[in-house]
C-alpha cells in the first residue's frame, strides 16, 4: 500500500512538472509569434517610406605659442564632414543613396592655407530582389572635390571637376542584411572629367594624359568591370566600425591596373554631442602620376598607392 501511494505521488509530481513545462513551451511559442508579428508590422509600416539619416562632424585643432623656448608655430586646423543616407524599400524593390561631403584645411602662422581634406561623393543603387538576398541592381557614382589643389611647389594639380568621375553599372547585388552588401558588375561605364586645361602645364603633346584624359580633351570614356562592398557593425555600446570600397578595371586600356578605393571609419562616442573618429582612405589610380624618385634619387612622376589617416575628436551631431 505504501509503495502504491509513493507511485501515485510520483505520478502526480511528474504530471505537474509536465504541465508546467508545457505551459512554459506554450508561453515561449506565444512570445515568438508576437515578436514575429511585431517585426512584420514594423516592416509593413516602413514599406514604401524613405528612411533618412545624417551625421555632421567638426574637428578643430589650435596651437598658440608665446615666447616658447622650444620653438614651434602657431597653427589652426579643422575638418568638417557630412555623411548622409536616404533609403527606400517597397516589396521587392530597394533604392539606397548616400552622400559624403568633406572639407578641411590647416593654417601655419603667415603661410598660405593648406588643404587637408576635400571630397564630394554621391552613390545611388536601385535593385530588384531576385531570390535569397540577391538583387538585380544598377549603380551610379559621382566623385569630385570643392576647390583647387596644389603640390609642394605651388603648381595646381586638381580643381572642381578636375578630376571628376561618373560611373554607371548594371550587375548583381548581394545584401543579406542592412550591414553588409557586395555589388558586382561586369558591364560598367565610367566617365573621367578633367575640366581645367592648366593641369597639362601648357604641354602640346597630344598623348600626354592627366588623370587618364588625353591632352586637348576634357573627358575620357572607359568601360570595365566594377566591384563595390560595404560593411558596418556596432562593436560595443559606443564603438562603431564601417568599411567600404570599390575596384574598377578598365577593359579598354591596361585592365590589369585596377583603380582601388578603400575607406574605414571608427567612431568612439563620448556622449550625444562629442565623439572621436579614426578615418583611413587608401587610393590607387594608375592614371594619377605623383612625384617619386628612382633608386639613384632622380625625380620622376608615376603612379603610387595613396594613403591618408585622420584622427580627431570634436562635435558630432545626428541630423
Torsion of CA 167, 171, 254, 194, to 10 degrees: 0
Please write the tens of the pLDDT for every residue from 185-203: 999 999 999 999 999 888 8
Q: In this structure, are 145 and 269 located in the same domain?
A: yes
In a domain, 50, yes or no: no
Q: In this structure, are residues 46 and 310 in contact, taking their beta carbons and an 8 Å threshold?
A: no
Which CATH number characterizes residue 269's domain?
Answer: 2.40.160
In a domain, 132, yes or no: yes
Pure H helices in the chain: 2-46
In this predicted structure, what is the pLDDT of residue 123?
96
Can you tell me the distance from the alpha carbon of 239 to that of 233, in angstroms, rounded to the nearest whole number?
Answer: 9
Q: In this structure, are residues 225 and 188 in contact, taking their beta carbons and an 8 Å threshold?
A: yes
Percent above pLDDT 90 for the chain: 69
What H or E segment, with its residue span, contains residue 144?
strand 134-144
In a domain, 55, yes or no: no
Q: In this structure, are 101 and 124 located in the same domain?
A: yes
Q: In this structure, are 28 and 138 located in the same domain?
A: no
- Total number of domains constituting the chain: 2
Q: In this structure, are residues 126 and 138 in contact, taking their beta carbons and an 8 Å threshold?
A: yes
Cα–Cα distance list, 37 to 27, 40, 41, 207, 291 (Å): 15, 5, 6, 64, 61
250: three-class secondary structure by DSSP: strand
Q: What average pLDDT score do residues 89-112 get?
A: 94
Q: Structure pTM?
A: 0.82
Q: In this structure, are residues 193 and 142 in contact, taking their beta carbons and an 8 Å threshold?
A: no
Please write the tens of the pLDDT for every residue from 225-273: 999 999 999 999 999 999 999 999 999 999 999 999 999 999 999 998 9
Is the predicted pLDDT of residue 18 greater than 60, yes or no?
no
C-alpha cell at 220: 575620357
In a domain, 51, yes or no: no
In a domain, 54, yes or no: no
Q: How many CA within 13 A on the CB side of residue 205?
A: 8
Q: In this structure, are 17 and 149 located in the same domain?
A: no
101: three-class secondary structure by DSSP: strand
C-alpha cell at 124: 545611388
Asked whether the bond before 163 is cis by omega within 30 degrees of 0, the reply is yes
Q: In this structure, are 28 and 64 located in the same domain?
A: no
Burial class (CB in 10 A: 0-12, 13-18, 19+), 215: middle
Residue 93 is part of which domain span?
60-318
Q: Tell how many helices (H) and how many strands (E) occur in the chain.
A: 1, 18
Please write the tens of the pLDDT for every residue from 34-75: 555 444 444 455 578 999 999 999 999 999 999 899 889 999
In this predicted structure, what is the pLDDT of residue 244?
96
Q: What is the DSSP letter of 199?
A: G
Q: In this structure, are 157 and 197 located in the same domain?
A: yes
First to last CA, the chain: 78
* Exposure string over 134-151, b if 16+ CB within 10 A, otherwise e: ebebbbebbbbbeebeee
Can you tell me the distance from the alpha carbon of 225 to that of 44, in angstroms, rounded to the nearest whole number?
Answer: 36
Can you tell me the distance from the alpha carbon of 277 to that of 270, in angstroms, rounded to the nearest whole number?
Answer: 11
Q: In this structure, are residues 123 and 139 in contact, taking their beta carbons and an 8 Å threshold?
A: yes
Can you tell me the distance from the alpha carbon of 211 to that of 145, in angstroms, rounded to the nearest whole number?
Answer: 14
Lowest mean pLDDT among 1-10, 64-73, 115-124: 1-10
> Residue 204 — pLDDT band, cuts 50, 70, 90?
confident
In this predicted structure, what is the pLDDT of residue 250?
97
In a domain, 115, yes or no: yes
* Residue carrying the nine cell digits 556622449: 271
Amino acid at each position: 500500500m505504501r509503495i502504491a501511494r509513493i507511485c501515485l505521488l510520483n505520478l502526480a509530481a511528474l504530471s505537474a512538472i509536465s504541465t508546467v513545462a508545457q505551459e512554459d513551451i506554450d508561453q515561449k511559442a506565444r512570445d515568438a509569434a508576437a515578436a514575429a508579428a511585431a517585426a512584420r508590422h514594423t516592416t509593413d509600416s516602413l514599406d514604401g517610406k524613405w528612411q533618412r539619416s545624417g551625421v555632421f562632424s567638426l574637428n578643430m585643432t589650435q596651437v598658440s605659442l608665446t615666447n616658447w623656448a622650444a620653438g614651434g608655430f602657431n597653427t589652426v586646423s579643422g575638418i568638417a564632414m557630412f555623411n548622409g543616407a536616404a533609403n527606400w524599400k517597397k516589396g521587392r524593390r530597394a533604392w539606397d543613396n548616400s552622400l559624403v561631403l568633406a572639407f578641411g584645411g590647416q593654417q601655419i602662422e603667415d603661410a598660405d592655407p593648406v588643404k587637408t581634406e576635400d571630397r564630394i561623393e554621391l552613390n545611388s543603387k536601385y535593385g530588384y530582389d531576385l531570390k535569397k538576398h540577391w538583387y538585380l541592381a544598377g549603380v551610379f557614382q559621382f566623385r569630385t572635390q570643392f576647390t583647387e589643389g596644389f603640390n609642394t611647389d605651388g603648381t595646381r594639380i586638381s580643381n572642381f571637376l578636375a578630376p571628376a568621375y561618373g560611373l554607371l553599372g548594371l550587375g548583381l547585388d548581394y545584401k543579406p542584411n542592412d550591414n553588409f552588401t557586395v555589388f558586382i558588375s561586369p558591364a560598367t561605364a565610367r566617365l573621367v572629367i578633367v575640366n581645367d586645361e592648366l593641369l597639362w602645364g601648357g604641354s602640346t603633346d597630344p598623348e600626354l594624359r592627366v588623370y587618364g584624359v588625353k591632352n586637348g580633351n576634357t573627358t575620357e570614356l572607359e568601360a570595365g568591370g566594377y566591384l563595390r562592398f560595404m560593411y558596418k557593425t556596432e562593436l560595443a555600446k559606443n564603438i562603431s566600425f564601417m568599411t567600404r570600397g570599390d575596384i574598377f578595371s578598365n577593359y579598354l586600356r591596361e585592365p590589369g591596373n585596377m583603380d582601388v578605393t578603400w575607406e574605414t571609419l571608427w567612431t568612439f562616442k563620448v556622449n550625444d554631442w562629442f565623439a572621436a573618429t579614426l578615418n583611413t582612405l587608401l587610393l590607387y589610380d594608375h592614371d594619377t602620376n605623383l612625384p617619386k624618385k628612382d633608386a639613384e634619387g632622380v625625380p620622376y612622376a608615376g603612379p603610387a598607392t595613396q594613403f591618408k589617416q585622420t584622427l580627431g575628436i570634436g562635435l558630432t551631431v545626428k541630423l
